[in-house]
Amino acid sequence: MKYLELTCNFSNEEYSDILVAFLADLDYDSFYNPEPLVLKAYIKEELFNESYVIELQQNLSGNVDFRYSYKICKEENWNSVWEKNYDPVLVDNRCYVRASFHEKMPNVEFDIEIQPKMSFGTAHHETTYQILSEVLKMDVSNKSFLDMGCGTGVIAILAALKGANDIWAIENDLWAYENTLENVKRNKVDFIKVFHGDASLLKDKRFDIIIANINRNILLNDMEKYVHVLQKHGILILSGFYEQDIDKISCKANELGLSFNSSRTKNKWAVVNLLNTHPSK
């Protein structure tokens, strides 16, 4: 199977979520922001239709400068590309995220081995790094834990290694879902329940801690569903948006009865930590 990589360059950060939403509707199934004004999107080659991208460019004309390029990626070569370019990441001197071709770090508290493939939850991105840092500070022992938009599953895996005992990981990208299944086995935490889907799977399940690292529009749309399944005094940590969106996220959270705990940013990417002070409905 061949994948096509579409690289979008745009002049206004506000349009990143718009591009993701538009391309997701066109069957692009993986997204990556190597920098704030660049989006890389991936689609199976046979599903690519350049006329839709041209239409998008025309619709954006006058509002934002939008340029694109694309190339074919061979699935069987993806791992070798990562091996050449993927470096391990050390988070807060406690959590070491590495691939199988990296040496283990001696005396590190949490060693996580990730085979990244085309799933971009490898701790290199500012959102994943910051959430891992947040989880490192938390007491998750014997807590129920949800990782929404789990990518490689690295956040759920860290929660498992720290003692969370009822863990769900949900991912709507089939490739990332399958990658998470591989990685939980690789790290011997396959008691993590991994699901392919979205927030509609939650129903009346309850969690003490919910992590959602997706994008602003999905977070705003699904936050009520997260609150519905969040235990009283539970923690909701949101990321996948820029620092200028913190007010929008916080306003929505306030409408739903959540209290603002803290926020942090790294290279303009934000993380918000919220507390549920009301019982689940």
Does the pLDDT value for residue 76 go beyond 60? no
Walk me through the domains of the chain, giving residue ranges and CATH numbers.
Answer: 2-79 (3.30.70.120), 124-276 (3.40.50.150)
- Pairwise pLDDT comparison (43 vs 124), residue with the higher score: 43
Task: List, for residues 166-195, the tens digit of each pLDDT value.
Answer: 999 999 888 789 989 999 999 999 999 999
CB 15 within 8 Å of CB 68: no
| 59-74 per-position pLDDT tens digit | 888 889 999 999 997 6
C-alpha to C-alpha distance for 30 and 198, rounded to whole angstroms: 15
Gyration radius (Cα) of the chain, Å: 18
Q: Percentage of residues in the chain with pLDDT exceeding 90?
A: 60
Q: 124 pLDDT exceeds 70? A: yes
Average pLDDT over residues 3-19: 88
Burial call 140-176: b when 16+ CB within 10 Å, e when fewer:
beebbbbbbbbbbbbbbbbbbbbebebbbbbbbbebb
Q: Which pLDDT belongs to residue 121?
A: 58
pLDDT at 113 over 80: yes
Q: What is the pTM for the complete model shown?
A: 0.76
